[in-house]
Amino acid sequence: MIKISKYKYFFVMSDIVTMSFILIATSFIVDKILNIEVQNIRGNIGSILLAPILLVISLLIFSSNNLYKISLILVRSAHITAVIKSLFYIILITIPSTFVLFEIEVMKISIIIVSFAVTYIFLSYLIRVELLSRIYSILKGKGFRRKVIIVGDGKPGKMLAAKLAFENPIGINIIGFIDEQKQFGEEIINGKRVLGKYNDIQNVIKEYDIEEILIANDTQDYEQLMKIIDYCEETKISVKITTDLFEIIPQKVYTEKYANIPIIDLSHSYNNWSSLTIKRIFDLIISIMGILILSPLLLIIMLLIKFTSKGPVLISQIRIGKNGKQFKFYKFRSMFVQNTEDSERREKMLKFMKEELPKGSSQKIISDSRVTKIGRILRKTSLDELPQLINVIKGDMSIVGPRPCLLYEFENYDIWQKRRLSVTPGCTGMWQVAGRSSVSFKDSIVLDLYYINNMSPWLDIQLIIKTIPVMIFGKGGV
């Protein structure tokens, strides 16, 4: 189990108390001041269930809006923006449940929502932005001060240690360095010394009560970096990293900053039996509902493909899934039938895998001459991938996860790149939301690895929601 920073417990408990008080205050305003009668059609059960469910939903929304990341908490404008953004999502999610549990007129619901919003903004600003932020600033040198060791003596680590020596608003206490090349006791910077080598990490953690490992190795070798990450994750405490090799992540995802240096969280926290079971149930519900709801659209697409070009409506390919397992992958046909193997696509794909993609450019693997008129629309909007819902039901794929690859792609993966196959592949994921064809191959792998280390039901929901505009506007499609 990952050791969570003390300040996060502090803010979570404070949010539970604050949200409980907001609900009580809203109820008082509605009942005693506005004299609005609310008839509960489920008896008292609805009222009993609504409060804890709303609290859990609120905490999840706060987390997704980075309200438990200290670099955001300490920036007033960003903190206020995240609080207001969270309010919007809380209201959006709870309105349907209010209709189900209570018999309330639309006008009365509007008044209740306004009352809740005003109370929420006032108390959240007063308690979170003003009071708790100041309490943290006072206690950061005491109970909330995090003990951190830096693995590697690269430039990012030295720069961070130097900056925190002069300015440390986030309460980090760098105890020392772990370095494979330097000798024990050797000074790296500002009196911070080498505490041992990789084999000494566990002992160093116990001796100094370390709460967090920060990897700041400036190696340009992905495989070496992955080995370091594996070694650190075995310690079961929070692992974070700053490296140029992962620079795509801060560009696409909000990350914490230590002394204005982007820090990426790599701590495994949800990749366990219970969360994977929830993910599987979620996949089945979404895929079955998706097929039922989209059945008219699926029928229209099938007819358009059938009557505009020769060949089957559906195609299947052998793809590589979790742990290298092969499975049949389904798609709507978007190209003209070709009897011979598409050697041009294979050559382009292998070139794309080995070369870096210039920033701002995109890579087209498929020749436009092979794509049908209907296929262009399907590929641009990703509608050709809807049959993958069948793969999800079969268990070969998940709704969210890394993309499954073709056999020849898998055979040309570097060892570190095969790590993306450690989980069930998905219909959508970090790479698709980030821009698909505008992201280099190595960066797409890095984004997938970030997802694997941070996968959770809430992250899946966020990525599904973000996939919708990508499909509608065809961002990055080829």
Q: Which of 247, 248, 244, 266 is nearest to 154 (CA)?
A: 244
The token pair at 417 is 């790149």
One DSSP character per residue, 163-216 reads HHHH--TT-EEEEEEE-SSSPTT-EEETTEEEEE-GGGHHHHHHHHT--EEEE-
Strand, coil or helix: 474: coil
pLDDT of residue 352: 83
d(CA 296, CA 292): 9
pLDDT of residue 1: 47
Indicate the fold that domain 146-265 takes in CATH: Rossmann fold (3.40.50)
Q: Where are the beta strands (DSSP E) in 306-417?
A: 314-320, 326-332, 398-400, 405-406
pLDDT of residue 43: 47
Q: 71, 172 in Cβ contact below 8 A?
A: no
Q: How far is CA 350 from the centre of its chain?
A: 28
Residue with tokens 């700041």: 216
Tell me the pTM: 0.77
Q: Give the CA distances from residue 120 to residues 50, 83, 255, in Å, rounded to whole numbers and listed in that order.
A: 17, 9, 26
pLDDT of residue 285: 93
The token pair at 462 is 């966020």
Neighbours of 332 (CB within 10 A): 23
- The DSSP call for residue 4 is P
Strand, coil or helix: 315: strand
The token pair at 176 is 């020392």
Residue with tokens 């604050």: 18
Bridge partners, residue 238, by sequence = 212
236-264 burial, b at 16+ Cβ within 10 Å, e below that, comes to ebbbbbbbebbebbbebbbbbbbbebbbb
The sign of the torsion formed by the CA atoms of 434, 437, 443, 447 equals positive
One DSSP character per residue, 30-62 reads IIIIS----EETTTTHHHHHHHHHHHHHHHHHH
d(CA 455, CA 122): 33
Enumerate the domain spans of the chain: 6-139, 146-265, 273-473
**H-run or E-run covering 264:** strand 261-265
Neighbours of 379 (CB within 10 A): 21
Residue ranges of the alpha helices (H) in 357-456? 373-381, 388-394, 407-411, 430-434, 441-454
Q: Which amino acid is at 363?
A: Q
Contacts of 157 (CB under 8 A, 6+ apart): 150, 151, 177, 188, 214, 216, 217, 242
d(CA 177, CA 186): 9
Q: Could you list the pLDDT tens digit for every one of the 478 residues in the chain?
A: 455 667 788 889 999 999 988 888 888 887 777 776 655 544 455 556 677 878 888 888 898 788 888 778 888 888 999 999 999 888 887 776 666 666 666 677 778 888 889 999 999 999 998 888 888 777 765 656 788 999 886 777 788 788 777 766 677 888 999 988 888 888 888 888 999 988 888 899 999 989 889 988 777 788 888 888 888 888 878 888 888 888 888 888 878 888 778 888 887 655 667 778 889 999 999 999 999 999 999 999 999 999 998 999 999 999 999 999 999 999 999 988 876 656 777 888 888 887 765 555 555 566 667 889 999 999 888 899 999 999 999 999 999 999 999 999 999 999 999 999 999 999 998 887 876 656 788 888 999 998 988 888 778 888 888 887 777 666 544 4
Three-point CA angle 192, 195, 196, nearest 5°: 145
